[in-house]
Every structure is written in C-alpha cells, then in structure tokens.
Amino acid sequence: MRRSQLFIKTRREAPADEEARNAQLLIRAGYIHKEMAGVYSYFTLGKAVLENVSTIIREEMNAIGGNEVLMSTLQNKEIWEITNRWDDKQVDNWFKSRLVSGAEVGIGFTHEEPLTNGLKHFVSSYKDLPVYAYQIQTKFRNELRAKNGLLRGREFLMKDLYSYSRNEQEHKEFYEKVAAAYLKIFKRLGFAEDITYRTFASGGVFTEFSDEFQILSHVGEDTIFLDKAKKLAINKEVYADEILVKLGLNKADLVEEKAVEVGNIFSLGSKYSDALGLVYVDDQGRQKSILMGCYGIGVSRLMGLIAEHFADDKGLVWPVNIAPFKVYLASLGNDPKVIEGAESAYTSLTRSGVGVIYDDRALATAGEKLVDADLMGIPGRIVISDKTVEQGVVELKLRTSDEAQLIPNNDLAGTLEKLLQD
C-alpha cells in the first residue's frame, strides 16, 4: 500500500485521555481511534493487525476440528430467560435495547444460549456429536469501568469456542486439545513460552477449577502465583493452603506476578444444554445429556498486550507475523532516480507477495518517514536514497536492530524474507 493513500496521520504527542501505553502508541501511530471509554475503532493498520491475530487463532481452531460460525449480536430474550441469564440481577453487564414494538433485545456478551438453541436443529443422535463451533466476533459487556486501553473495553473482539461432547472423557480430551492449541497460539503470537502460564482459577458452578491462560506483564490486572519449574500457576482469587495441597503445589516454589488473562477455558457440564433441551440419543436408544465447554480468547486484548509488550521508546514493535506490513519502504528526497528506484522496489516486493507500505509522500522529510517507520513498528525498513541508488543497493534495517545493511537490488524479496525469519 502507498502511504499517500493511507488516510491516517501519525501524531507526535500522546492523547491526554489515555494513560495506557498500548492505547497511547496505537493512537499515535494511527492504528485505532477512541470513540468513548472502552470503545475503540480500528483503522487500516489496526484492522490488519486484528486480522493477523485472528488468522493465527483461526488456523489453530480449525486444526482441532472447529467450525467457524458468526452468531448474531442481537439476542432473543426468551432463550436467555430459560437459562436464567436475562435478569440483570443474574448478569449485571448486559447491554439491552428495545425493538420499535417495545420488545426487549439483548446485545450479546457471550453465546452459549443461542448456539445451543440453534444446534437443536442438527443434533439429535450420538452420530451428530461431538460438535465444536467457534467464532471471532465483537462482544459487548457493560463493564463498571473500562481501563487499560485495549485490555478492558466495553466492546471488544473475542474468539469464543463451544464444545458439545457425548461424555466426560470426550469432553476432557477436547478440553486438553484446546489448552494445547491455546499455548501454540500464544507462542505463534510472539510470546515467549516462559511468560505464558496455564493458571488455575475459579471454576464456577460446574467444576472446581477453570483454566486461565495468563501472560506475565506489569500491566496485568490479575495476580497469579506461579511455579516456574512445573509451568503451572494459580490465580490469587483461589489461592489458599488447602488448594495448593490439592494441586500439588509447594508454597515455597511459588512466585507472585502480575499477568494479563488472554484466554480462559471452562467446563460447563450440561447446564445450558439440558435447560435448552439439547440432548442426544445414544446407540442404545437412551436419551443423554450433552456436556459443554466454552473457550475464550480476547483478540483485541491480545493486540493491546502485544503492542504493550514489545514496544520500545521509539514506538510499536510488531512481531513479523502480526505486523500490518512486513516492510516499510521509504524513498528519501525527490531525486527522480530515487523515486524510480523506490517505485521499482515497491513493484517487485508487491509482486513477490511481500506486504509493503511504501512511503511515497513527496512532501514528507526523511526524518518524518524514518520516525513513522519506527512508530508504526513495521518489522523491516528499506530506504532508497541517492547513496543507495548510486551503489545499486537498498538499505535494510530491522525494527529490532540498530544496524542497517546494504543488500543488492536483485532478489530483494528473497533476502528480506530470509532476514525477517530470524
């Protein structure tokens, strides 16, 4: 994409109404726009990052048998009354509205009820199970207080997966598959394995514990106690001596850390399926309950955490596979030979399928272009100038390095890909 066609403009200063570093940087670099507290829009670059994060999640969900769906945002009150989750006394973070007729509708904060209800049309026999369905969709939760930029909003992008299994064993197997897939996802998103912890947390009504996936970070809202050797952690909310004994954790081995909850998996038993009448008939003709699980990942929260986690004093630093573009191509000066060189590099990179943003702004100074490349956090930076044109090379610098190198013009894409690999 040409920078001249990108409508956003970067800013020198952080907005006064954001304290969170992730929001400050994402706004300064033009990725997101704040609409109101806890509500953000995603402009071109931000949208691309969300897509890239989503793609990784989608690939791993598909790999374990997930069906991607897209559930409605507007919710029919009737099915939520059946499970007793419509009442504001039961669920206090609903956004609700009304049809012109006066009928109440909800704005979805999760989707167990509608999905379970919808599956009644397709599931009746043991042959129809198990079912794994997930979506990447905007959720709405009327939080008492939004904070921390993208880390806690009232509207946010979430991946939610729901499993429907025939028995406990089948459920447990899938549950563990999801747990493994989650660890894979966080690793692919660039988080080191030693800062990601599967964490015991309160389980709610159905099981004693649920599993949270926590990534260590000073901006975390959660406090966890972790056992580095065992790669396990326990959330402060359930931390107690008898629980430690039960989990086989030794108090002396635990370290207290702040962490961000990026995923959470729950066993739901048959509460919702039974209530909504989603059951199956086994091979003996007996009617059986279906066991459910739900598995969430905060997609936009992850984007915020990645921004926060990798940023340096010059701005954002995206891991290669989630950056909106692989390389920032900047032409310095308006010498026709430089323009020609930059245009040809742009064409050849684009043809090779390398995502490139080409800063072709004739009126921008060299400094502005270089500063923007850093602020936007694009992994690679290619500079075309008088000097490079003379030598028949281009200058390449990685965002994470201080040193530039000159590389030959031919096979630009190949060299670049190789360098970005490491």
Partner RNA sequence: CGGGGUGUGGCGCAGCUCGGUAGCGCGCACCGUUCGGGACGGUGAGGUCGGCGGUUCAAAUCCGCCCACCCCGACCA
Rank residues 123 and 151 by Cβ distance to RNA and give the closer one: 151
Rank residues 20 and 419 by Cβ distance to RNA and give the closer one: 20
Count of other CB atoms within 10 angstroms of residue 26: 31
The helix (H) or strand (E) run that includes residue 81 is helix 77-82
Rank residues 198 and 397 by Cβ distance to RNA and give the closer one: 397
Rank residues 281 and 420 by Cβ distance to RNA and give the closer one: 420
Rank residues 123 and 201 by Cβ distance to RNA and give the closer one: 201
The residues of the shown chain that bind RNA, judged by CB under 7 A, are: 9-20, 28, 36-38, 92, 110, 141, 143-148, 152, 202, 204, 210, 221, 264, 266, 268, 294, 296, 314, 332-334, 363, 365-368, 370-375, 383, 385-388, 395, 397, 404
Q: What is the DSSP string of 173-217?
A: HHHHHHHHHHHHHHHHTT--GGGEEEEEEE-TTTSSEEEEEEEE-
The helix (H) or strand (E) run that includes residue 2 is none
Could you tell me the smallest distance in angstroms from the CB atom of residue 355 to RNA? Answer: 20
Could you tell me the smallest distance in angstroms from the CB atom of residue 278 to RNA? Answer: 17
Rank residues 155 and 227 by Cβ distance to RNA and give the closer one: 155
| Terminal-to-terminal C-alpha distance of the chain | 25
Rank residues 52 and 342 by Cβ distance to RNA and give the closer one: 342
Bridge partner residues of 298 (DSSP)? 158
> And the tokens for 148?
């921390």
Could you tell me the smallest distance in angstroms from the CB atom of residue 125 to RNA? Answer: 27
Could you tell me the smallest distance in angstroms from the CB atom of residue 282 to RNA? Answer: 26
DSSP SS3 for 232: strand
Q: In terms of Cα–Cα distance, which of 40, 43, 42 is closest to 1? A: 43
Q: Please give the C-alpha separations between residue 400 and each of 12, 97, 164, 310, 312, in angstroms, as whole numbers.
A: 21, 48, 44, 10, 9
Cβ proximity of 380 and 396 under 8 Å: yes
Could you tell me the smallest distance in angstroms from the CB atom of residue 343 to RNA? Answer: 16
Q: What CA–CA distance (Å, rounded) separates 191 from 200?
A: 20
Could you tell me the smallest distance in angstroms from the CB atom of residue 287 to RNA? Answer: 25
Tokens 């050849």 -> residue: 348
Could you tell me the smallest distance in angstroms from the CB atom of residue 230 to RNA? Answer: 25
